[in-house]
Every structure is written in C-alpha cells, then in structure tokens.
Amino acid sequence: MNDKCAGGTGAVLDKIASKLHISPAQLAEQPYFGIRLHQVAGKCGVFAETDINSLQKQGVPTDELMASLFDAIVLQNLTVLTRGHTLYPEVLLLGGPNVLIRGMREAWQHNLGLLWKGRRIGLPKGAETQDLVTVPENALYYAALGAVEFGRMEEEAAARYLGTQCLEHYVRDQRQAAKVRRGDPGLISSQFELLEFKNQYSRKPFVAANFSAGTTVRAFIGIDAGSTSTKAVLLSDSSEVLCKAYQLSHGDPIQDAKELFESLRNQVESQEARLEILGVGTTGYAKNILRDALCADIALVETVAHTRSALHYYSDPHCIVDVGGQDIKILVLRDRCIKDFRLNTQCSAGNGYFLQSTAHSFGVPIDRYADAAFSAGSMPTFGYGCAVFLQSDIVNFQRSGWQAEEILAGLAAVLPKNIFLYVANVPNIQNLGTRFVLQGGTQNNLAVVKAELDFIRASFAGSDVEPEIVVHEHCGEAGAIGAAIEAKQLYDTGHRTSFIGLDAVRHIQYRTTRSEETRCTFCRNHCLRTFLDIRTESQHIEPSESRNSKVPLEQDQRRVIIAGCEKGSVEDIDRMRDIKASMDSVRARTPNLVDMAARHVWTSRHPGLVADPIPTARWRNSVQRRIDLMKGRSKLRIGIPRVLNMWVYAPLFSAYLESLGVLAENIVYSDFTTNEMYRAGSNRGSIDPCFPSKIAIAHFHNLIFTKHVRKPLDCIFLPMFDVLCSPLVRTRACNACPTAAVTPETVEAAYTKEINVFAEKNIRYLHPIVNLSERRLFEQQMFQCWGPVLGLSAEENQRAVEAGFASLATYERDIRHQARVALDMLEREDHLGIVLLGRPYHHDPGLNHGILEEFQKLGYPVFSQNTLPLDEDLLDRLFGEEVRAGIITHALDISDVWKTATAASSNMKLWAAKFTARHPNLVAVELSNFKCGHDAPVYSVVERIIERSGTPYFCFKDLDENKPVASIKLRVETIDYFLKSRCEGMRFMSESVHPETERDVSVHEGLIALNVLNEN
C-alpha cells in the first residue's frame, strides 16, 4: 500500500482534470495509447501538479498532460508499491480511477506489457496484454463484496446486525461530542472581536482612477503571470495604481496577458482618454515568455518584484510574507535591503490554491470563505505540512463529522504554521523583526489574515514588543506593482520602451508548436522545445534563421523558443555556437570545483604496477590456478556504479585494481545519472528510500543491461562502506550513513528476488563491507573480496592498498590545490563563491539537478565541502584565534559545535559550514534529499553556524528524482540578486575603508565570531 506521501491518486486526477477544465465525462474517455508522453513526477500529487503546470505553460496540449499523468501514476505503482515484485498475468484493475478512466487502464496495459517483455514472462498462447490486464465486472464493489464474504465466514454469534439506531446515535451524539473535545476554538471568540478585526483589516474596495475625456494617460504596466492567476496593473508616472486587472490563469500566458492588457486599456478608453505605455515589466512563472512575446522592458524575479512593491508602500518593513496560490515567500529585510529569504519547497507548495479548491469542493465561493470560516465555533486541528497530508486530514475530519465551515476555519488556522514553522523554519518569529507586511492573493482571504495575526501576536506574547502587521494595500497585485515600478525606474534613468504597443497586443496572433520538428539536436538530451510563432500588426521583423526551419516561420512572424537551456533557444548552429562560446568563457573564468571533482574522480591516475611476478613453478594445482587468474587480470572487466561514496573513493579502488594489472579501460563505470536511466531501471526497487540510495538500482540496470550487453562484464563491484576516512580531528567516529552502507545489499535483493540476474548474466557481484579508517582491516577485506578473483598474494594486496590510498591522496590534493587558487582569486577580486554543503554524491549532476552549474553560469565559483583547501596558513587565518584561545584544539576540530560527531559526512558538513562562516568571500548552499534521515539532525546546527556569522545561507532541500525546474530557477535568481547587492557592498567597503579601519573591523569581526561560538 502507498504511504501517506504517495496518497490521493483519485483526488489528484480530479484536481488536475478540473484545473485543465476537463469534464468528468471527458476524463473517463481520455485515451492513453497513441498520445505523446512527457515527464511528470508520479510520487506525489503536489509534485505531479507542479510538473503539469510547467508543461502546460510550455504549450503541451491537455490530452498529452493527462496521458503523461496516467503514465506517471502507473509507473510509480510499479516502481514503489510492488516492492520489486513482478505482477504476473492476470492482473485485475480495481478502484475508481482504473475502473472509470480509459487512459488509466491503457497505461497499465502498456506498462505491464513492457515489464513482462523485459522480464521475459511468458504469456498464455494467443493471449494479448490487453486480455490479461482487465477490469472485472463489479470492480467498483470488490471491497464491499469482500466485506460480505468475510461476514459470511464468521460465526453466527460473532456479530449481529442491530439496525441503524446505534449508528444514528453515534453520528448524532457521540461523534459530535468527541469532535468538539478534540478540536480547537474557532477563529474568533466573539462578534465584538470580529467587528474590531474587520474594522482594522477590511480593505476599502479599490476604485480605479478617473480620467478626463481627451487626455493622454502616460503609464507603466506591470504583469504578474503566476501559477494560478495572472494580475496586471497600470501605474502612473507618479507611481499611483490607476487600474487593475485579474484573472485565473488558463495555462496560456499570452492569451491571459492579452485579455488583461485589453481590460486595462478599456478602463482608460471607456472614459474617452488615450493610453500611452511608457514601459512594461513582467514577473511570475511566465515572466520570460511574456518579456519575449511582448518585448517588455524587464522580466523581474518574483521575490524582487514583491520586495520592490512592499518598499514602495511601507517605509521600513522587516518581514514580507507573500502567500500566493502556489508559492510562499518570506523575505527578511533590514534597512530596506533583503537580508534573508525563505521559499517553500514543493512539499509545502500550493497552500493558497488548496484553500481555494477545498472551498470550491464544499460549494463555498472563495469570496465567502472568510465568512464561512468565521461562523465556525470550533474547528479541527490540522497537522501542518504538505497539501497531500492536509487533504487526507480533511477526509478524516469529514468522517468524524466536522462541517465545511469548521474545516475551512481549521485550514486557515494551519496556514501560518505552514508559513513560519514549515517553510521559514523559524520557531521564534521575533527573529524576523517586528514589522510584517502580508501580501499575495491569499491575503485577500480575511480568515487567513486573522489566523496569521493571531499566530504572530502569540509569538510575541510575554515580550514588551507589539508587532506591527499590515496587509499590503494591493496584496493580490503586489508582484505586478513591483514589476511596473521597475519598468518606471528604467524609464526614469533614460531607457525608452521596447514594448510592441497596445494595438499590437490586441492583434497578437500566435501558434504554438511542440513536436518532433521542434526537437533540439544540439546535445544528446534531445529536448522537445516549444516554438511560439508570434504575429503582431506593428512589429518590425528581423530576418530570421527560422525561415529555413523544419517548422517554417512566415514572413511576418517572430519566433520565441522555449527550451531546456540557453543553447536550445536558437535554431541556427552558428548562433548556438556563439551562445556556447560565451557560456564557455564564463565557465572558464569561473572555477567549479564540484564539477572538477566529479570528472576527475573517475579518471585513471595510472599507478605503477605492484603485482607479483607470475610464478614460474606450476606443479601444484593451486599455483596453476593462481597463474591463470593473474594472467586473466588484464582481460577482467569490472563494472562500478557511479553512486554514493564512490563519488569520493573511486580513485582508491581504481588505483588498487590497476596497480594489480587490471586495465584502466576495463574498469567500466555506469553512465552519469539521468532521468531516463532512473526510469529504465528503477522498477526493481523493493524499498523506497532516499533518491541517492534508490538510484543505485538504476545504475546497476545500466551496467547489466547496457554496458554488459555492449561488451560482457565479469564482475560488478560496489563495497558496503562502513567506516570512512576523514581529515577531521577529535570526532567520535567516522561512520558512513547506514542507508548508503546497506544499499549494495538492497541492490542484491532487487536483482535476485525472482530470478538471479547476476547468475543469469554470468556476472559476479562483489560487495564487501569495508572500513577505510583501519588500514589493516581494510587490507583484509579487500583481500577476501579480490583474492579469489585476481589470484592475489597478501603482499601484493597490501601494496595495492597503499597504491589506492596514494592515488586518493593525489586526487584530493590536486582538487584542494585548485580550490585554493580559486579562493585566492575571490579574495583578490572581492567576489563571492558558493560552498556546497552536501554529501559526496551531490557532485553527481543528475543528483544535484544542475543547481551548482547554474551558479557557475552566473559567475560564482563553486566549492564542495569535500575539497575545501586545508593549507596551514589559510586554516590559521580562519581558525587560529579560536585554537589559541582554547575554544578548539585544532582547525579541524568540530567539538565546539557538534559533540556527537559520529557520521563522517555530517561531520564534514559541519566543518565546511564553520569554514564558510569564517571566510568573508564564501556563502553556503546546502543540498539535501527527500527522506534523508541523516541530514535532519544537523540542519539547524549548520544554519546557526552560518547565519550567526552574518554569512548568507541558502538551501535546496527534499531533492528527489523529480527536478523542480521552476522552483530551482526562482531560488537561483533570487540568490543571485541577493548576492549581487552583497558583492557591491563588499567592493564599496574595500574601496572606501582605510587600512587601519579595516584592521579594526577584522579584529571586531574576530571578537564577534568568538562570542558567537561561546553562545553555541
């Protein structure tokens, strides 16, 4: 059975179908066969919805979206719920979605057909997959029929039907009493309180400006194309909001924009005035599409747009709380500058939209939500967290008799917990400041505002401070206002608009193409792209390479390409080369030590041969066997998966094997992680752990079914890392993560469960347990593993282990040296670099989702926790004072921040956090995976170490097989904005500060650091 986290298949299908305006009748008939599929995450409804949203914005038609969703759900079932078992024919499909939706049935038939073929499961003669995957008669009633059958088997005396009276009594009296006992009081305690609250927080309805007939209104437009709604404002040249327009997004940003521009225009022209647009700014998920389509002047990242807007209306806010349909943003400001920010992960996404759709499902219009919620005298207590959990809570509360208005009140009440505890992760709200601005469309709901107010005020209870909380005057349009303000600022500094004009927008025509013809062939990813061919009346069309494209562009059309990367945004190979050249030049100037480490870890360092000479005497059988094995070393082909701790220790093992005579080209690594690889190999998993662990099954699949097929492998080697090595001192232990340690066993179970695939393919699977801290023990472990395969003597094994560690040391020394060069450069140039606080496998671009490369592209050098330089002079500069003061015994001592230091990677992460906190040119980006039990205990410690030193800290948590492109982009862009202003500040300081003052400041900073440590 699914766990809570994968729940809600039927509810997810309903919700997404309704968002795509597909009726239940159409959904039932929606086919799967013959429809193009796209990648959608199936593990969770929230993730699936995010993917569907973004595909829809790229112009993917609804039938393809729904078929992709069916596929994702079925694959998720086959990958996770079957726990690695094969579903043998015949398969009965039960449950509402399978029974009622044609496409779900077809998706099962297709995927089971593939599975049976792949696992060579024989079908009965003449039978087709369709005949063996069927919906039986009365499928909807199987659970009820089962209950009847069970009852029939019971003893007569076991239970007796007593009529409906007991049930009625329970529903009427008992359930009601139990419900009230378990719930909370409602959102308001009295009508007086409600009146007082409404007096203070009900906003006057917005009245659009009046214009005199015959005048020309010179104004700016800001448009916020959000995930669930689109908003636009007209801003005067004195920054007053003149008119507004709003509508729920239809998944077509250009059409939405067209309608909103028309609405703004009508509001002016209906008064017989003329509208002249001086500038246009865009923001929101579709900001770039709109910028390109409308030739807008600026596309502003949402976080910045919201900040601009709040700062325009409020002089010195401390905390902006923006709650939109999908996203939550907390922006912390000091002296009108962003000091910190928090954005929801996908797991906490969708709260605003969730309130709206729940109200809708109860038949309560959204503008009646607050009144309904205020009418509840008590309400159920929701646990905070992801929308899927809230959804299952709703079902349970309904079972317990809670009414719609009570549930709506409870949902409003849990929202501030989601915002401050789940998203912002700030248990003490007072740390955010005392002046709060609430904005975003969800703040139009007064029930939500009341709940936030109560929550924030309660957090200040007992202190002398009274928080000031305001709701943004135009909370729903705050982002659009910010974009318009930015466009105005550009105009004020002399920029003249590139906007295509209102008439052109009115007559804009466009065609969206996403097909084989639009596929990009500039790299082996072969992404499908979307071509948006736009025709407007008044535009000047430049000659375009697209006139000769596979999708020909007409003379009066202009093409906007939505692609997976910058290179794919053009069609002409020379233009692509120009783009690539400019990207390469940024890369060349911007060292990425994570990427460097990730590439070099797999290359051979050509260790010298340490093997024994081949014995000449061969009169004993055992000697002859050894000679044969030794001669066979040069032919032996060994597969090694690129997973887990191999991302650091591969040089040790490759050098060990090579020094014994295995050829470097015969050490065959699996491919780098890709989504295709995961999909191809993941359905054998018998458990559902974190992504870094479960991807191992896919890497083995790649080795067995791709590499081995190309040229046979003799062995596959993946040790069970028990204890690792570490440069740190005074740690209690240096253990590997237990999930990672036992992954080789999990893999073995997956590939031997029904058929022993290793035996079938004649591959030896070697997965010894290894302890890298105890050299003698490690030698024994390697000897036991490889002795019978390579015909080893104990002496040559020992020499090979030495060669392995020497190679590992060389690899680390080289990377650390490069890191030092990069760090020195940062110091010289007063620039900032990013330190990855993660684990070895976060070097894998398929696991880190390319996040680090995005920073490199923006010009930030990237370092990893495993390869920070360890030069004495540097360590003395960063830690010397504390060592001399006796706070720590050594620069590599973390006992001041973490007493229970037993896990190697966590220890290293904490040390790297300390390093980053002390280095003025470094900021931290922490990566962590969904279901990681090891990161959770150190999250807050890492954050505290970094933030107490005033160093920026950013995190990307819950990473998984699903790549949340939009959310990654939003974070990276926001971080970039934030860091740019920090860099400017650093340069300003270094240019203006007198050397003596600089010395004083650094002494002062040293003292602060010491105080911080003492507090820890």
d(CA 191, CA 69): 47
Q: How far is the CB of 654 from ligand SF4 (least distance, A)?
A: 22
Nearest approach in angstroms of CB 693 to ligand SF4 is 5
H helix or E strand, kind and range, residue 765: strand 764-766
List, in sequence order, every residue forming a beta bridge with 927; answer none if it has no partner: 956
**Quick one: which H or E segment has residue 864?**
strand 862-864
Smaller CB separation from ligand SF4, 134 or 675: 675
Q: What is the DSSP letter of 329?
A: E
* Closer by beta carbon to ligand SF4, 564 or else 859: 564
Which of residues 499 and 522 has its CB atom nearest to ligand SF4 in the complex?
522
Any alpha helices (H) in 156-271, and if so which ranges? 165-169, 175-182, 191-201, 253-269
Whole-angstrom CA distances from 676 to 671, 849, 931, 962 are 11, 14, 22, 12
Q: How far is the CB of 996 from ligand SF4 (least distance, A)?
A: 47
- Residue 936 CB, nearest approach to ligand SF4 (Å): 9
CB of residue 659 to ligand SF4, shortest distance in Å? 29
529 versus 971: smaller Cβ distance to ligand SF4: 529
Nearer to ligand SF4, 451 or 927 (CB): 927
DSSP letter (8 states) at residue 729: B
- Least separation, in Å, of the C-beta of 931 and ligand SF4? 7
**Which residues of this protein are in contact with ligand SF4, per CB under 6 A?**
520, 522-523, 525-527, 563-565, 567-568, 690, 692-693, 737, 739-740, 839, 929, 932-935
Q: What is the C-alpha separation between 680 and 500, in angstroms, rounded?
A: 46
CB 30 within 8 A of CB 66: yes
- Cβ-based nearer residue to ligand SF4, 479 or 840: 840
Specify the residue, 481 or 643, whose C-beta has the smaller distance to ligand SF4: 643
Q: Give min distance, CB of 934 to ligand SF4, in A.
A: 4
- Beta strands 764-766 and 667-669: pairing type? unpaired
Complex with ligand SF4: residue 567 or 600, whichever CB lies closer: 567
Give the nearer residue to ligand SF4 in terms of CB position, either 659 or 739: 739
Q: How far is the CB of 960 from ligand SF4 (least distance, A)?
A: 10
Calpha distance 373→449 (Å, rounded): 12
For residues 159 and 148, give the distance between their C-alpha atoms in angstroms, rounded to a whole number: 13
Residues 254/256/262/267 CA torsion (nearest 10 deg) = -150
Rounded to the nearest whole angstrom, what is the least distance from the CB of residue 733 to ligand SF4 in the complex? Answer: 15
Quote the least distance from Cβ 518 to ligand SF4, whole Å: 10
Judged by CB, which is closer to ligand SF4: 62, or 693?
A: 693
Q: Please state whether beta strands 764-766 and 833-837 pair in parallel, antiparallel, or not at all (unpaired).
A: unpaired
Tokens of 632: 């066979």
Token code pair at residue 469: 């909380």
Which residue of this chain has its Cβ atom nearest to ligand SF4 in the complex?
Answer: 568
In the complex, minimum distance from the CB of residue 561 to ligand SF4, in angstroms, rounded to a whole number:
9
Smallest gap from Cβ 213 to ligand SF4, in A, equals: 51
Two tokens, residue 750: 């997956």
Question: What distance in Å separates the CA atoms of residue 541 and residue 555, rounded to the nearest whole number?
Answer: 8
Q: Beta strands of 346-439 (E only): which ranges?
A: 378-379, 435-439
8 A C-beta contact, residue 907 and residue 734:
yes
Three-class DSSP category at 359: helix
First to last CA, the chain: 44
Minimum CB separation from ligand SF4 for residue 570, in Å? 10
Q: Which is nearer to ligand SF4, 303 or 569 (CB)?
A: 569
Minimum Å distance from CB 225 to ligand SF4? Answer: 22
Give the nearest distance from C-beta 532 to ligand SF4 in angstroms.
15
Pick 507 or 577: Cβ nearer ligand SF4: 577
Q: Would you say 383 or 933 has its CB closer to ligand SF4?
A: 933
The DSSP secondary structure of 632-685, one letter per residue, reads HGGG--EEE---TTHHHHHHHHHHHHHHTT--GGGEEEPPPP-HHHHHHHGGG-
Give how far Cα 878 sits from Cα of 823, 1005, 1015, Å.
Answer: 13, 12, 19
Whole-number Cα distances in Å, 963 to 341, 523, 958? 21, 19, 11
- Return the DSSP state at 893: B
Residue at 837: amino acid letter: L
Closer residue to ligand SF4 in complex, CB, 5/891 = 5
In this complex, which beta carbon is closest to ligand SF4, that of residue 265 or of residue 934?
Answer: 934
Paired strand residues for 225: 230, 284
CA dihedral (669, 672, 674, 680) in degrees, to 10, reads 0
CB atoms within 10 A of CB 40: 26
In angstroms, the CA 756 to CA 959 distance is 32
Q: Cβ closer to ligand SF4: 541 or 565?
A: 565
What is the spatial distance between Cα 747 and Cα 55, in angstroms, rounded to a whole number? Answer: 33
Nearest to ligand SF4 of 739, 949 (CB atom): 739
Q: Could you tell me the smallest distance in angstroms from the CB atom of residue 903 to ligand SF4?
A: 8
Closest distance of CB 670 from ligand SF4, Å? 17
**In which element (H, E) is residue 829 found?**
helix 794-829
| Bond from prior residue into 90 cis (ω within 30 degrees of 0) | yes
Nearer to ligand SF4, 523 or 809 (CB): 523
CA distances from 610 to 606, 639, 659, 802 (A): 12, 22, 5, 10
Would you report the helix, strand and coil content of the chain in percent, each value rounded to 5? 55, 15, 35
To the nearest whole angstrom, how small is the minimum distance from the Cβ of residue 328 to ligand SF4?
25
